[in-house]
């Protein structure tokens, strides 16, 4: 995984007033939540996995029907009975829930990160700042290295990110939204610790998604120049991107589209304005 402000390492090689509509079907209550766009986002948003000790009350996930002159927010309400531990004591319960709700090895590895809530909050903030959260998300470092095929990025390199992207998009964004609302107090506390006195972690999520959204799509024939121990795009506009945007380009176009769709669906369920 590339580090902040470092170039890309490579191994060179060749809805009238009617009765309200019926509620949406409830989402599954037993999927593990990750964000993060991240990534960015993928990490971003790997932060959203806490389910509380009670299962999700699926009736609270259904949006209300439109009222006169407005449509109710899709954002779920915090469910009662969420006995959240202090931030500094949250690791054991997160690991317990992670083991119960997911067998994905990457998610288990992330859950084992010391002070995992702090690490993920830091990662989301860094993404919003345009930095690559390499240190905060070391557990998600993919195998291998970036490789080139001539003066193009080798498409085989994109497969390094299959595990992380698959883990993210396997989570129902509506479940992720309910989970996040239930545990937001813990993430707000960690966000305040980083020097954001209003402590509203929603703002960090919105900022991270917007930063990732601003990443342009390179032309299929974009030239990559080989340098000693790294590579860079020949296009000055691409060379001038923020580090996390350059990192997003490495996961490949299919993965980028999947991550972007998931992040926007999550934001929609949280009623966050990212566009």
- Encode pLDDT of 146-161 as tens digits: 888 888 888 888 999 9
pLDDT of residue 71: 65
Highest mean pLDDT among 18-27, 68-77, 94-103, 162-171: 162-171
Q: pLDDT grade, residue 13 (50/70/90)?
A: very low
Average pLDDT, the chain: 76
Q: What's the mean pLDDT in 64-84? A: 72
pLDDT of residue 101: 58
Inform me whether the pLDDT recorded for 44 exceeds 60: no
The CB-side HSE value for 123 (13 A sphere, CA atoms) comes to: 32
Is residue 96 in some structural domain? yes
Taking the C-alpha atoms of residue 206 and residue 41, their distance in angstroms, rounded to an integer, is: 11
Highest mean pLDDT among 86-90, 131-135, 219-223: 86-90
Domain that holds residue 248: 32-143+158-217+243-269
pLDDT higher at 94 or 34: 94
Token digits for 127?
């993404």
Token digits for 60?
């609270």
Is residue 231 in some structural domain? no
Inform me whether the pLDDT recorded for 39 exceeds 90: no
Q: Which helix (H) or strand (E) holds 113?
A: none
**Angle made by CA atoms 53, 171, 88, in degrees to the nearest 5:** 45
pLDDT higher at 27 or 163: 163
Is residue 7 in some structural domain? no
What is residue 19's DSSP assignment? S
Is residue 187 in some structural domain? yes
Taking the C-alpha atoms of residue 180 and residue 210, their distance in angstroms, rounded to an integer, is: 19
Is residue 21 in some structural domain? no
Q: How does pLDDT run across 211-268, given as a tens digit for each residue?
A: 999 999 998 888 988 888 777 889 999 999 999 999 899 899 999 999 999 999 999 9
Is residue 262 in some structural domain? yes
Highest mean pLDDT among 13-17, 137-141, 153-157: 153-157
Is residue 90 in some structural domain? yes
pLDDT higher at 124 or 60: 124
Q: What's the mean pLDDT in 20-29? A: 44
Taking the C-alpha atoms of residue 28 and residue 216, their distance in angstroms, rounded to an integer, is: 34
Taking the C-alpha atoms of residue 7 and residue 24, their distance in angstroms, rounded to an integer, is: 46
pLDDT of residue 162: 92
Is residue 153 in some structural domain? no
34 Cβ contact list (under 8 Å, min separation 6):
45, 46, 47, 48, 49, 107, 110, 167, 168, 171, 176
| Number of structural domains found in the chain | 1
The CB-side HSE value for 49 (13 A sphere, CA atoms) comes to: 34
């Amino acid at each position: 995984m590339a580090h902040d402000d470092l170039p890309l390492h490579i191994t060179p090689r060749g809805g009238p007033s009617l009765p309200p509509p019926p509620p949406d079907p409830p989402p599954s209550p037993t999927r593990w939540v990750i964000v993060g766009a991240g990534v960015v986002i993928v990490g971003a948003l790997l932060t959203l996995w806490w389910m509380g000790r009670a299962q999700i009350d699926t009736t609270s996930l259904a949006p209300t029907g439109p009222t006169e002159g407005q449509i109710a927010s899709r954002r779920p309400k915090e469910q009662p009975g969420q006995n959240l531990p202090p931030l500094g004591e949250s690791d054991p319960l997160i690991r317990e829930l992670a083991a119960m709700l997911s067998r994905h090895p990457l998610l288990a590895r992330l859950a084992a990160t010391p002070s995992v809530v702090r690490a993920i909050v830091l990662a989301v903030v860094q993404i919003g700042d345009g930095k690559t959260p390499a240190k905060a998300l070391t557990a998600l470092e993919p195998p291998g290295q970036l490789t080139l095929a001539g003066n193009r990025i080798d498409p085989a390199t994109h497969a390094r990110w299959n595990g992380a992207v698959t883990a993210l998009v396997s989570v129902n964004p509506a479940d992720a939204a309910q989970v996040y609302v239930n545990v937001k107090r813990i993430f707000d506390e960690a966000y305040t610790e980083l020097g954001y006195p209003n402590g509203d972690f929603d703002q960090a999520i919105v900022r991270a998604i917007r930063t990732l959204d601003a990443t342009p799509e390179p032309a299929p024939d974009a030239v990559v120049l080989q340098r000693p121990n790294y590579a860079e795009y020949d296009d000055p506009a691409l060379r001038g991107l923020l580090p996390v945007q350059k990192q997003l380009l490495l996961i490949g176009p299919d993965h980028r589209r999947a991550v972007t769709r998931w992040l926007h669906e999550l934001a929609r369920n949280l009623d966050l304005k990212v566009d």
